[in-house]
Structure 1
């Protein structure tokens, strides 16, 4: 396990799992959100985001969390472990609301500097709609991965815990 890729809907626990895997394995953790956003929730130009993600993916070791579709295939080519956090909508919405409340007015550690946490109704609707579109794409992607990649389809916190416990500490 040298290059771990984690995908899933907002609130699925990608950042948390990435940090936990990083702590357990001493692999460096890479979050996509800071490559996507500039301070003040300003989106980077797509070419800039893609270049940042592709450069980071060239590192020898990583735990890379995030869904950036434009770079998905390039990251898959480099990954040896693929994790899809397929967490239900209600749990993800709860986590997003909790995360917003806990970090309101501040910047989360896995987010770009200057992106202050706020309540965003459009984002909540996007989170709720993930199972209708993003999840279907993720399932198709997961099923099409090359056989040399270890694939983990984790559906609930118990499966995530069991996965973490299966990783030998560094």
Structure 2
């Protein structure tokens, strides 16, 4: 495991998991959202976004988290491992809502240098990350199940983690292996 992609719907815990795994393995951590979002919630144009991802994944080892399907042609062919955080909808909803509420309450900048902060009005708007979860949960699950079977990704070692227990056990297993 040297070039790892962590996927999962919004609020599934991709970033938290990826940071922990990065610390265990000593690999560079890349967050696609951080590469994508500019100040004032502006979006990086695709050509620039693709260049940022290509540059970030030039090294021989890294962990990247995010679900920007239009970018898969850049980092998926380079990956040796994909870890899918596939928690039940109720748990993902709880985690997503809790994270959004805390971000809105404490107004902490989400990605350094952007000034982007969650707000209660944004949390309940038509662009809400909570609404995004319900819109994308089932299609995301179907797309990832198809990827598991795809010949195109047969070079990738897939891990599907379906509970907090499986996530903890996986991190513990990786930590034990890296100690030897």
Q: Cα distance, 1:20 vs. partner?
A: 0.5
Gap regions ≥5 residues in structure 2: none
RMSD between aligned residues: 1.8
How far does the alpha carbon of each residue in 1:10-39 deviate from its partner, in whole angstroms, 9 at most, with x for none?
011100110010110110100000111101
Counterpart for residue 78 of structure 1: 78
TM-score by length of structure 2 reads: 0.86
Counterpart for residue 117 of structure 2: 116
CA distance in structure 1 between the aligned counterparts of 2:119 and 2:145, rounded to whole angstroms = 30
CA distance change for structure 1 residues 126 and 112 in 2, over 3 Å: closer, same or farther? Answer: farther
Counterpart for residue 136 of structure 1: 142
1:24–1:169 CA contact under 8 A, matched in 2: yes
> Tell me, what secondary structure is at the counterpart of 1:160?
helix
> Tell me, what secondary structure is at the counterpart of 1:78?
coil
CA distance in structure 2 between the aligned counterparts of 1:141 and 1:147, rounded to whole angstroms = 9
CA distance in structure 2 between the aligned counterparts of 1:132 and 1:58, rounded to whole angstroms = 32
Residue 17 in structure 1 maps to residue 26 in structure 2:
no
How far does the alpha carbon of each residue in 1:79-138 deviate from its partner, in whole angstroms, 9 at most, with x for none?
1111111112221121112112222221235x7631112232332111112222122112
Q: Cα distance, 1:146 vs. partner?
A: 3.5
Q: Structure 1 residues 117-126 or 58-67, which shifts more?
A: 117-126
TM-score by length of structure 1 reads: 0.90
